[in-house]
Chain A
Amino acid sequence: MKKIKLTTFLFALVVVLACSTNIFAGGAHVIVLNADGPGEGFNDPTPVAPVGGNPGTTRGQQRLIAFQFAADTWGATLDSNQDIFVVAAFNPLGPNVLGAAGAWDVFSDFPGVGLYPGAEFPATWYGSALADKRAGADQDSTAPDIVAQFSSDFNFYLGLDNNHGAQNDLVTVLLHELGHGLGFQNFVNEATGANLGGFTDGGRFYPVQTDIFARHTLDTTNGLYWDQMTQAQRQASATRFGRVVWDGPAVNAGVPLVLSPGSPEVRVLTPAAIAGSYQFGTAVFGPPLSSPGVTAPIIAAQDAADAAGPTTTDGCTALTNAAAVAGNIALIERGTCGFAVKARNATNAGAAGVIIYNQAANANAAPPLMGGDGINDPFVTIPAVSMTRPDGLAIVGQLPTGVTGSLSLNLSILAGANEAGMARLYMPFPVSGGSSGSHYDTVARRNLLMEPFINGDLTHNVKAPDDLTLELLRDVGWFPDADLDGASDGIDCEPHSDLAATVVIGGCNSGVPNTLFSTGCTISDLITHIAATSKNHGKFVNSVARLSETLVANGTITSAQKDALLSCAGSANIP
Chain B
Amino acid sequence: MNTFFRRSPSDATKNKRPGKLRIIALLAIAVTLAGISTIVLSQDKNGKRLKTPRPAPSTAKAYIATREIIFDQATQTLRKPTAEETSALVAQISSLTNRSTEGLTARQLPNGTKQITLEGRFGGVALGRARADGTTEVRCVTTMEEAISFLGLEEVNPIR
Q: Name A residues whose Cβ lies closer than 8 Å to a Cβ of B.
A: 1-4, 6, 9-10, 13-14, 17, 20, 22, 29, 31, 33, 35, 37, 40, 81-83, 85, 87, 89, 91-111, 113-115, 125, 136, 138-144, 147, 149, 154, 166-168, 173, 176-177, 180-181, 185, 187, 189-191, 196-199, 201-202, 204, 206, 209, 365-366, 430, 432-439, 452-454, 484-486, 497, 499-501, 513-519, 521-522, 526, 550-551, 554, 556
Q: Given A196-B116, A517-B2, do A98 and B25 touch, yes or no (CB 8 Å)?
A: no
Inter-chain CA distance A115–B9, complex, in Å, is 11
- Chain A residues near B18 (CB-CB < 8 A): 20, 31, 33, 83, 85
- Is the CB–CB distance between A96 and B128 below 8 Å? yes
List residues of B (121-149) whose CB comes within 8 Å of A's CBs. Answer: 121-130, 133-146, 149
- Chain A residues near B114 (CB-CB < 8 A): 107-109, 206, 209
- Is the CB–CB distance between A434 and B146 below 8 Å? yes
- Is the CB–CB distance between B142 and A434 below 8 Å? yes
Give the contacting residue for B108; candidates A9, A204, A499; CB below 8 A: A204
Give the contacting residue for B120; candidates A95, A147, A434; CB below 8 A: A147
- Is the CB–CB distance between A516 and B33 below 8 Å? no
- Is the CB–CB distance between A499 and B12 below 8 Å? yes
- Is the CB–CB distance between B14 and A106 below 8 Å? no
Inter-chain CA distance A105–B118, complex, in Å, is 5
Q: Given A33-B26, A81-B14, A142-B25, do A168 and B6 touch, yes or no (CB 8 Å)?
A: no
Q: Nearest chain-A residue to B138 (Cβ)?
A: A454
Give the contacting residue for A143; candidates B5, B25, B106; CB below 8 A: B25
Inter-chain CA distance A139–B113, complex, in Å, is 9
- Is the CB–CB distance between B143 and A147 below 8 Å? no
List 13 additional contacts besides A33-B30, A97-B96; criterion CB under 8 Å. Answer: A1-B50, A10-B27, A82-B14, A83-B17, A102-B124, A106-B115, A113-B11, A181-B123, A187-B122, A516-B6, A516-B8, A521-B1, A550-B1
Inter-chain CA distance A144–B138, complex, in Å, is 27
Inter-chain CA distance A478–B62, complex, in Å, is 42
- Is the CB–CB distance between B21 and A141 below 8 Å? yes
Inter-chain CA distance A436–B149, complex, in Å, is 13
- Chain A residues near B22 (CB-CB < 8 A): 85, 141-142
- Is the CB–CB distance between A96 and B25 below 8 Å? no
For the complex of A and B, 4 pairs with smallest distance between CB atoms:
A102-B123, A434-B143, A142-B25, A114-B7
Give the contacting residue for B5; candidates A106, A110, A517; CB below 8 A: A517
Inter-chain CA distance A166–B71, complex, in Å, is 14
- Is the CB–CB distance between A96 and B69 below 8 Å? yes
- Is the CB–CB distance between A99 and B126 below 8 Å? yes
| Closest CB in chain A relative to B110 CB, distance in Å | 11
- Chain B residues near A551 (CB-CB < 8 A): 3
Q: Nearest chain-A residue to B24 (Cβ)?
A: A142
Is there a chain A Cβ closer than 8 Å to B54's Cβ?
Answer: no
Q: Please, how many residues of chain B have a CB less than 8 angstroms from a CB on the other chain?
A: 96
- Chain B residues near A3 (CB-CB < 8 A): 40-43
Chain B interface mostly: mixed
Inter-chain CA distance A522–B142, complex, in Å, is 45
Give the contacting residue for A14; candidates B6, B27, B115, B119; CB below 8 A: B27
| Closest CB in chain B relative to A453 CB, distance in Å | 5
- Is the CB–CB distance between B44 and A17 below 8 Å? no
| Closest CB in chain B relative to A285 CB, distance in Å | 18
- Chain A residues near B25 (CB-CB < 8 A): 141-143
Inter-chain CA distance A447–B107, complex, in Å, is 40
Q: Given A173-B126, A204-B108, A435-B146, do A149 and B36 touch, yes or no (CB 8 Å)?
A: yes
- Chain B residues near A434 (CB-CB < 8 A): 142-146
Can you name 17 A-B pairs with beta carbons within 8 Å? A1-B45, A29-B16, A33-B18, A83-B17, A92-B50, A99-B126, A100-B96, A100-B120, A100-B124, A104-B120, A199-B101, A199-B104, A209-B114, A434-B143, A452-B140, A514-B9, A516-B9
Q: Given A3-B41, A166-B134, do A110 and B113 touch, yes or no (CB 8 Å)?
A: yes
Give the contacting residue for A4; candidates B21, B43, B129; CB below 8 A: B43
- Is the CB–CB distance between B33 and A147 below 8 Å? yes
Is there a chain A Cβ closer than 8 Å to B38's Cβ?
Answer: no
- Chain A residues near B3 (CB-CB < 8 A): 517, 550-551, 554, 556
- Is the CB–CB distance between B6 and A17 below 8 Å? no
- Is the CB–CB distance between A105 and B116 below 8 Å? yes
- Is the CB–CB distance between B115 and A115 below 8 Å? no
Is there a chain A Cβ closer than 8 Å to B100's Cβ?
Answer: yes
| Closest CB in chain A relative to B15 CB, distance in Å | 5
| Closest CB in chain B relative to A556 CB, distance in Å | 6
- Is the CB–CB distance between A101 and B143 below 8 Å? no
- Chain A residues near B11 (CB-CB < 8 A): 113-114
Q: Given A433-B146, A499-B9, A501-B9, do A454 and B139 touch, yes or no (CB 8 Å)?
A: yes
